[in-house]
Amino acid sequence: MCGVGFSGKSTLAKSIAAHFAIPLVSLDSLYFEHEKELEDTHYDDAKQWKILLEMSKEKIRGLLIEKTSVVFDNVNLIRKHRDELRELARQTGANAVVVYLDTPEDLLTERQTKNKETEERHDVEQHYLDEAKKQLEIPSAEEAVYAFTPGTDVEKFLQQLPR
């Protein structure tokens, strides 16, 4: 998955995982699962997220070694990070694709505003969202990218993804 906050990554990741009946590894879920022990380390946010990313990669590696496909729900904004995941897949004999959520700015803002009212998901501080938008390196065709926009029919999109 690749996209900024409120682009719909988690929602689509869950749909993909359910459609193919495969595991979903979510960086956010890992954070909430290990939040207390991470806070106890007194590491800064960057160090905590690095630890979580390594935990995610280990889970993914284990699944791929077992020949189990997996969906990784994370922002994956930077090409270098996506390349690392592709290399992990290659090392285990798997193929990797990128699902890029191309969500217009006005819809991102609308979703964020709605979330502040409904608290359906955890909030993300504005400076993190702004930084993510600056860091985003839109995936290129050679990355085996499948672009999803808000107008895309989910069922048709799921049918075009490789198993």
Q: Distance between CA 33 and CA 59 in Å, rounded?
A: 14
Grade residue 61 by pLDDT with cuts at 50, 70 and 90. Answer: very high
* The pLDDT value given to residue 122: 66
pLDDT at 5 over 70: yes
Q: Distance between CA 44 and CA 117 in Å, rounded?
A: 28
Q: Which CATH class is domain 9-160?
A: alpha beta
Q: Can you give the residue ranges of every domain in the chain?
A: 9-160
pLDDT at 38 over 80: no
Give the tens place of pLDDT for each residue, 118-130: 777 666 777 777 8
* The pLDDT value given to residue 33: 82
Average pLDDT for 39-62: 84
The pair of structure tokens assigned to 6 is 């409120």
88 vs 111 pLDDT, higher one? 88
Question: Which phi-psi region, left, alpha or beta, contains residue 8 (left: φ > 0; alpha: ψ -120 to 50)?
Answer: left
Which of these ranges, 11-15, 35-39, 53-57, 154-158, has the smallest mean pLDDT?
Answer: 35-39
Secondary structure class of 100 (helix, strand, coil): strand
* The pLDDT value given to residue 32: 78
Average pLDDT for 137-147: 96
Q: What is the mean pLDDT of the chain?
A: 90
pLDDT at 43 over 70: no
Which residue is listed with tokens 């959520």?
101
Grade residue 63 by pLDDT with cuts at 50, 70 and 90. Answer: very high
